[in-house]
Structure 1
Amino acid sequence: MSETVVADFVGRFFAPGVEGDPPTGRIILSQRRLVLAADGYKETIPLSSVFDVKVGQVPPEMAGYFNDTVTVAYRRDDARAVAAIEGNDTNIDRFATVLFKVLLNGTKALTRHPAKVGGRVVDSDAQKARLDVTHGELAFKGSDPFTVTLSNVVSVERADRDLGNGKHPVISFRHIEDGTAVTSQVGMTSGRLTNVLGRYIRLRYADVKEELEDVELGEEETEVLVAAYSAGPGVSLAKVVDIEPQRLTMLLNGLIDEGLLVDTEEGTELTAKGRVIVGQRIESVNT
């Protein structure tokens, strides 16, 4: 390939034309295509044909071969095709992130931000923007730029909305900005990229939400988390919550054990899991 290679590793894969056990071969990703190559086999997937990417969801027909994969759905000879790729944990996680970035970086979008603040609809004009995917953030660059921290996203849905070009599928997602639940709407230049963007946003917080399924908090624990968010690092929580000091220490230790708070040199801070809980609480208050 003449274009720059952004990922190149050895792994197993299953793709059209593979018979029997999945082969081990090279997985090569450039800015334009994904190539799967093994002895006697090569599949080239133009990235312009990719319409879906799933991480950690093994297709049923491949469940007997793989435990964890990146699955790429694409158009091949006017038909739907699927390739599943498996590597070691480090390679496959890095590959998934790079693949999403290559698919989405620099793409044009129509945005409405904010579309809602709390439960109130805002009459914001749709704006043209260019998407920049960075670590943990989506930056929409245009005449009215904004950035979304993905760990602050509390819900995502795909729906038909009019962003000034008629009704088309858009990604509508709620996230926390300065203690308020804000809804943003984004429509990409094509339905396939809109779908990929939705997958990426869900991927970045899905693992955190799954970890929270078994976490049960009382009102005091939730109050402490919200106070930690509002106060920020370096501020003593004893000054902002009306809880007896000994009880507060016990609550803080429990929240640290749950992985919702962490002690740093600057003080006690929320983890990604803690931010999701606070986001859900703020969203419920504002809607």
Structure 2
Amino acid sequence: MSGEERTLVDTTGKFVQVVRDGRKVADLEWLSGRILLSNRRIVLVSEEGKRTIALSQVSSLKNRRDADNAIAPVSGYFSLQVDADVHLVAPSAIDDFEDGLYDALVDGEVVPVKHPAVEGGVVQDTGWEKGRLSVDPDEVGLGVASGQFVEIEVADVGGVDVTERAVKGSKRRVLEVEHTVADGTSVETHVTGSTQHVAVLESLVSKGPSNDVEDLDLTDAERQVLMALYSGVSPFEIPEFVGMDVAEVEEVFDQLVETGVLSEKRVRREVRLKARGRNIASEVIVDQ
């Protein structure tokens, strides 16, 4: 490796090409060998030779860590698409590889960001600004030109969507991420950039808890509390806001904490919506 290229991870593992020139490969055979990750490429070395994946050409990245339906004989892998080819890579040092891969692909990149695009379920009149990315497997940070720093904790992400929107006069793919800010208010942060930027960030923020909303038999009181929290009302102001007794609200908090919709922050009963709770509240608002 020459010039400014530097090795990030040197490990062993398994790998296989599952799509070649747009066609699925029959009779898949996982190869064992050496996996090298640099800030420019991934090199896969086996007894059959060497394959190189240029990071600049990666158009899609999927993280399948600890997936229940992971393809045998591995329990977790990364799927990387380059043009019409798709490779699956399952490194032994999966944590180090994950750190290095996201770092090499997007850390330090400057992308257009809109924050908050939505706050408490209400669309905001926020413009697009430049933001510098800072990433690790558990968090995405955006240092925005206006001076604010946006933190998106992967475990706190309640919804992820990729859509096309008009950005400064042109159609762009936009990543929409629902999460919370420091006071517990639900917000959406929108990020765009190159195809690779959007694909890699989508892969990273989609690793959080399952966002599937299970059918819950919610009472009217529980629905009111969820909607109030989703809108940014302080937990301490909930009784007055929804017209309920403090004791009744405390009981609702207990029930929602038990079902995994809320997490308790402190003994004083200050609570905040978890990803699942925000999704349920969002569905309730849509239904009304």
Same fold (TM over 0.5): yes
Checking the alignment, whether the CA contact within 8 Å between 2:260 and 2:276 is kept in structure 1 is no
- Give the aligned partner of residue 155 of structure 1: 159
- Give the aligned partner of residue 176 of structure 2: 172
Cα–Cα, structure 1 residues 257 and 94, in superposed 2: closer, same or farther, change >3 Å? Answer: farther
- Give the aligned partner of residue 44 of structure 1: 52
TM superposition score normalised by structure 1: 0.70
Cα–Cα, structure 1 residues 34 and 165, in superposed 2: closer, same or farther, change >3 Å? Answer: farther
Picking from 17, 29, 33, the partner of 1:21 is: 29
* Matches of 2:187 and 2:265, distance apart in 1: 29
Name the aligned partner's letter for residue 122 of structure 2. R
Cα–Cα, structure 1 residues 163 and 145, in superposed 2: closer, same or farther, change >3 Å? Answer: farther
- C-alpha displacement at 1:137, in angstroms? 3.0
* Matches of 1:46 and 1:276, distance apart in 2: 37
- C-alpha displacement at 1:11, in angstroms? 0.8
- C-alpha displacement at 1:71, in angstroms? 1.0
- Give the aligned partner of residue 239 of structure 2: none
Checking the alignment, whether the CA contact within 8 Å between 2:115 and 2:189 is kept in structure 1 is yes
- C-alpha displacement at 1:72, in angstroms? 1.0
**Which range moves more in the overlay, 260-269 or 150-159?**
260-269
Checking the alignment, whether the CA contact within 8 Å between 2:211 and 2:279 is kept in structure 1 is no
When the two structures are aligned, how many residues end up with a matched partner?
268
- Give the aligned partner of residue 186 of structure 1: 191
Checking the alignment, whether the CA contact within 8 Å between 1:112 and 1:127 is kept in structure 2 is yes
- Give the aligned partner of residue 116 of structure 1: 118
* Matches of 2:185 and 2:54, distance apart in 1: 41
Whether 1:142 aligns to 2:150 is no
* Matches of 2:270 and 2:34, distance apart in 1: 42
Checking the alignment, whether the CA contact within 8 Å between 2:117 and 2:189 is kept in structure 1 is yes
* Matches of 1:123 and 1:263, distance apart in 2: 32
- Give the aligned partner of residue 241 of structure 2: none
Checking the alignment, whether the CA contact within 8 Å between 2:262 and 2:277 is kept in structure 1 is no
Name the aligned partner's letter for residue 157 of structure 1. D
- Give the aligned partner of residue 128 of structure 2: 126
Cα–Cα, structure 1 residues 139 and 82, in superposed 2: closer, same or farther, change >3 Å? Answer: same
Unaligned 5+ segments in structure 1 are: 236-240
Checking the alignment, whether the CA contact within 8 Å between 1:180 and 1:283 is kept in structure 2 is no
**Which range moves more in the overlay, 136-145 or 154-163?**
136-145
Picking from 93, 97, 100, the partner of 1:98 is: 100
Checking the alignment, whether the CA contact within 8 Å between 2:110 and 2:131 is kept in structure 1 is yes
Checking the alignment, whether the CA contact within 8 Å between 1:176 and 1:279 is kept in structure 2 is no
Checking the alignment, whether the CA contact within 8 Å between 2:159 and 2:275 is kept in structure 1 is no
* Matches of 2:45 and 2:7, distance apart in 1: 14
* Matches of 1:119 and 1:268, distance apart in 2: 24
Name the Cα RMSD after superposition.
4.3
Unaligned 5+ segments in structure 2 are: 237-243
More helix by share: 1
Cα–Cα, structure 1 residues 182 and 255, in superposed 2: closer, same or farther, change >3 Å? Answer: closer
* Matches of 2:279 and 2:259, distance apart in 1: 17
Name the aligned partner's letter for residue 138 of structure 1. G
Deviations 1:139-186 (A, max 9, x none): 233234331323333222212222215121111223223343322221
Cα–Cα, structure 1 residues 242 and 180, in superposed 2: closer, same or farther, change >3 Å? Answer: same
- Give the aligned partner of residue 34 of structure 1: 42
Name the aligned partner's letter for residue 200 of structure 2. V
Name the aligned partner's letter for residue 281 of structure 1. A
- C-alpha displacement at 1:221, in angstroms? 7.4
* Matches of 2:113 and 2:277, distance apart in 1: 26
TM superposition score normalised by structure 2: 0.70
Cα–Cα, structure 1 residues 215 and 35, in superposed 2: closer, same or farther, change >3 Å? Answer: farther
Name the aligned partner's letter for residue 187 of structure 1. T
